[in-house]
Amino acid sequence: MIEPDGKTGVGQAGSAPDVALILLNNSGIGGTERRFAQVYRGLRARGVSVSLVINESLQQRLVRSGLLEPDEAALVVKEPVGKVAHTWRKADYGLACVSVGWWLLKTKPKVMHLVLGGAYVTLPAQALGWAPPAVLSLVCPSLRDLVGSASGLWLYRSALKRAAFVDALTESVGVMAEAEGAAPDRIRVSSGSCVDTDRFRPARAKKPWVVFSGRLIDEKNPLLFVEACARVHRLVPEARFFLLGNGPLRRPVEESIRRHKLDACTDVGWRDEVQEILGPALLFASLQRMDNYPSQALLEAMACGASVVATDVGLTGKLVDDTVGLRVPADPVSVAEALVRLLADPERTQILGERGRERVLREHSLDAYLTHLEGLYAAAGESGAQPAYASAEARR
């Protein structure tokens, strides 16, 4: 039962979970997916009665990354369309509406926590009164960039309006949520994100490695990273570069690497054990166009003791200052000059990385974020927004 102080008791075997964490994304794996796999495990470790609903391809990716066990999910949503025609994979969300809605009706959780595609697939159940009050997590300051289509934008706005509470990762995300239709009194901004600092930790010896980690999309600026690396390579030939990610820009990225003759010193592609690269890396580049705060990939790199070069945009200064790295304009010359400056003084750069890890430990602990979420679950459970099945049972 969800208690007013945010604590929850673990239900008995076969009983309704207090919280259904519905995490769906069939287009890849990124920081949000890794963050909420960690949240799920953290909630269970706290004794929260929580069940995980996840789509099949994402579950497999998280299992390969060591973030989930194969049998941890209460419901694994199948993806028959995506297996046959990858370009039509979003059609699987329509099928998921049925399986997730039926699961909610049978299982009767007290609160559901919606992440990414979870917001779409629960809308029919909400309209039919089968769904409990919802906490909807938002991590991107642009809803249009998050959903990528006009129909998706309309559906996500509908989910925002129906949510009992919106969990906004930053102040700018909260402002966006209000602009997109969420009531201001239902928006809660977290004090920070979270990262597994046991999994992500520095290696004993640092190497002149420069890492970019994220989806290969325009917002992340992977082509800017390659342009900067070409300049760094001429001045620091022993440096090695990693672009840890996949996405629609992979082919242009690989073409740029070949054009700049960086093939021998550059690796491209996602790795399930990303910490094996971040741990020894001396430097991390976070080059997003809108905001680097609080990027999950950036937090993971800082937890691994990598010093940071970041584009000076949005709220980046809350996480990256001259005690942990450098903020620069989003142009290849400025990025390259900052990287070369830090590579030239590895002892000083390693000290900056150590301070970055200290900041993550101090300001982005898993415990603080879980306490924030448990408070939202308790408030949502007491919000009075009860599903139809609850009302029917009350009349018996």
pLDDT digits (tens, 9 = 90+) for 281-321: 999 999 999 899 989 999 999 999 999 999 999 989 999 99
Q: Ranked by mean pLDDT, which of 2-16, 22-36, 238-252, 358-372 comes out on top?
A: 238-252
**pLDDT above 60: residue 391:** no
Q: What is the pLDDT of residue 390?
A: 45
Q: What is the pLDDT of residue 389?
A: 44
Rounded Cα–Cα distance for residues 20 and 188 (Å): 19
Q: Among 292, 147, 287, which residue's Cα sits nearest to residue 220?
A: 287
- Cis-peptide into 109, omega within 30 deg: no
Q: What is the pLDDT of residue 81?
A: 77
DSSP H or E segment with residue 339: helix 332-343
**pLDDT above 80: residue 387:** no
- In the chain, which segments carry CATH 3.40.50.2000? 19-194+365-391, 207-363
The pLDDT-based confidence of 151 (bands split at 50, 70, 90) is confident
Q: What is the pLDDT of residue 9?
A: 37
Q: What is the pLDDT of residue 262?
A: 98
Q: What is the pLDDT of residue 388?
A: 46
**pLDDT above 50: residue 263:** yes
Q: Does domain 19-194+365-391 have CATH number 3.40.50.11890?
A: no
**pLDDT above 80: residue 13:** no
Residues of the chain above pLDDT 90, percent: 72
The pLDDT-based confidence of 240 (bands split at 50, 70, 90) is very high
Q: Ranked by mean pLDDT, which of 125-129, 190-194, 221-225 comes out on top?
A: 221-225
Burial of 150 (0-12, 13-18, 19+ CB in 10 A): exposed
CATH superfamily of 207-363: Glycogen Phosphorylase B; (3.40.50.2000)
Spell out the residues 6+ positions from residue 69 whose beta carbon is closer than 8 angstroms to its own: 63
Quick check: 232 and 336 in contact, CB under 8 A? yes
Quick check: 216 and 248 in contact, CB under 8 A? yes
Kindly state the average pLDDT of the residues 137-142. Answer: 88
Neighbours of 197 (CB within 10 A): 18
The pLDDT-based confidence of 82 (bands split at 50, 70, 90) is low
